[in-house]
Amino acid sequence: MNAEHRFVPDLPDLIGTCEYGEHLGGHLGRARIAWDEQGVEVPGDVFRPDTLEDLLDRMAPDVVEQRLCG
């Protein structure tokens, strides 16, 4: 991916902590798509980052904002 990566302090949580125990295999992800005159925004929240990274790579964005968690 040739996108510029920006680390940001906050992004929306699309997966609630109460859902973690229901998906112990780590196979849960959510994404939203929104667009306006400024462009397209695809916030995503996944247990396995490579899943979302693959999707974003196919979309060829200019900028990817990421939040470090853990």
Q: What does the pLDDT read at residue 25?
A: 84
Q: What are the tens digits of pLDDT across the range 26-53?
A: 889 999 999 999 999 999 999 888 888 8
Could you report how far apart the first and last alpha carbons of the chain are, in Å?
A: 24
Integer Cα distance of 23 and 44 in angstroms: 17
Q: What percent of the chain has pLDDT over 90?
A: 44
**What Rg, from alpha-carbon coordinates, does the chain have?**
13
Q: How many domains does the chain have?
A: 1
Integer Cα distance of 62 and 29 in angstroms: 22
pTM of the model: 0.75
Which residues fall within 8 angstroms of residue 22, CB to CB, at 6 or more apart?
28
Q: What are the tens digits of pLDDT across the range 3-34?
A: 899 999 999 899 998 898 898 888 899 999 99
Q: What does the pLDDT read at residue 70?
A: 58
Q: Give me the helices (H) in 1-70, please.
A: 49-59
Range of the domain at 10: 4-66
